[in-house]
Amino acid sequence: MQGLQVLGYFAIIGAVVSTSSIHSALNSSKGQEPIGPIDWNCTGNGVFPKPDNCSHYVECWMNNAILWRCTDTMLFDLTYMGCNWPQYVNCGNRPGGPFRCPTPDGYFPDPESCLSFYVCERSIAYKNYCQPGLWYNPNTRACDYPVIFGLRQIETKSLLRGVLAMEKLLVKDRFHKYVKSSNIILLMVIIPLVISLPTLAAIIVMWSPCTPPVITMALTSCKSWSDDGDVSWVEKGVLSVVEFYAWAGSSGAVIFLIWGCVLYPVIIVEAWVNRLSSTRKMRFRASIFIQYRLCQYMSGLWNFVLRTPCMPICVAGTIFCQVISLYIVIGSNNLPIMIIMGAGVLGVDMFILIHVVFRIFSIPYLVSTEFLKSKFINSRSKWLKRFFNSCAPLKVSGGNGIFFDRMTSLEIWKVCVDQLVTLLLM
């Protein structure tokens, strides 16, 4: 019975491979572009046309839907399930066609995608594309960075749903090694960090309520940082509780974002690749193809969620906080002790973020590179080896064309040290 379930699982996903293989072969890198996850009722795994647009199609996997569009005036061909030239495509009832200029001249948004726009000259429309990571803003008539919060909820939801589905398959396959001791230790380290900043903020309120960056500075009549603001101990107690909850909520939200949307997908993808390397049940060539394709899918979706400017802002903010905290601890002798203690706690948090969290970002690249070069792949057929030789390793993008590898954490730390030395020598 278990063997039949495994065969059934492979048979279901095999349909995705067959349609996706035709889809990948027919579409070149210039013939399609992803728009992003959408709310779509997936009836199965595979590629499906979008009824309201002949140039759009949907790729489904495990109830996660990604909307794609055909570029270069191509349309989605139902015969080959891929993008094709208009003269070879029968759209049927699906609407589609060239863009019509509302006025003879001007700039107009693409009604099908935020990634492109039209420039009309004498009623002739010329399609233009924004650079990667930018969206067309009709108010400024230029390509701008999209708003970080609020516009990536669907992508984040699809990412978490996909990762949870992968973890359920790991548990169903009785592969329990994905819960490593290092992950548990990391979680045990993160929990005290969540409590450290709120606790320190509450102590600062009780000891010196006029010391930044606590909110009691605005609620009391502070004359200097060392002043007590004429606040009684009862009022200090109430304000310290409020301060603790304010900092706990903000730091908890940040930690949840880091662990849930950043670390958790990376850990599951690592476990999936390790499962491919260790299992002996995959006697079917297509199964290896499918399993690694799932990793590529999740890696691409993860990078889509944290695309520019999210990851560059995260790295730049980490460097800034690390440099400022170290500068306060090392180079400032006249500041109140509470500020130095707060900077010390922040410095420790940023140090762990650089050398632990950013180091985890390199794990998909390291494990996928090792997997693609392993004997497990070399012992298979020549066709399979050629396919995997053409596959790129899994990468966590850092923005601006870079990705996290083994040396990225040390390079970021080197930038922090260089900036700190510059500040100390000024």
Question: What pLDDT, in 10s, does the model give residues 290-343?
Answer: 778 788 888 888 887 777 777 888 899 999 999 999 998 888 777 778 788 888
SS3 state at 131: coil
Check residue 61 and give its pLDDT.
Answer: 80
Residue 89 has pLDDT above 50, yes or no: yes
Fold match between 1-95 and 98-146? yes
79-98 per-residue burial string, b: 16 or more CB within 10 A, e: under 16? ebbbbbebeebebeebebee
Question: Is the CB of residue 72 less than 8 Å from the CB of residue 342?
Answer: no
Higher pLDDT, 214 or 28: 214
Higher pLDDT, 247 or 282: 247
Check residue 232 and give its pLDDT.
Answer: 77
Check residue 183 and give its pLDDT.
Answer: 67
Check residue 324 and give its pLDDT.
Answer: 92
Pick 1-95's CATH classification: 3.40.1500.10, 2.170.140.10, 2.40.30.110, 3.30.70.20: 2.170.140.10
Check residue 269 and give its pLDDT.
Answer: 86
Residue 8 has pLDDT above 60, yes or no: no
Question: Is the CB of residue 329 less than 8 Å from the CB of residue 344?
Answer: yes
Helix or strand (DSSP H, E) at 152: none
Domain ranges for the chain, please list them: 1-95, 98-146, 153-377+392-425
**φ, ψ for residue 126 (rounded to 5)?**
-115, 120
Residue with the two structure tokens 């706690």:
345
Check residue 372 and give its pLDDT.
Answer: 79
Determine the longest span between alpha carbons in the chain, in angstroms. Answer: 82
Average pLDDT score, the chain:
76
Q: Give the highest mean pLDDT range of 217-221, 225-229, 259-263, 312-316.
A: 312-316
Question: Is the CB of residue 360 less than 8 Å from the CB of residue 263?
Answer: yes
Question: CA–CA separation, 114 vs 34, rounded Å?
Answer: 11
Topology classification of domain 98-146: Antimicrobial Protein, Tachycitin; Chain A (2.170.140)
Check residue 97 and give its pLDDT.
Answer: 58
- What's the average model confidence in pLDDT over 139-161? 70
Check residue 377 and give its pLDDT.
Answer: 60
Question: CA–CA separation, 160 vs 174, rounded Å?
Answer: 21
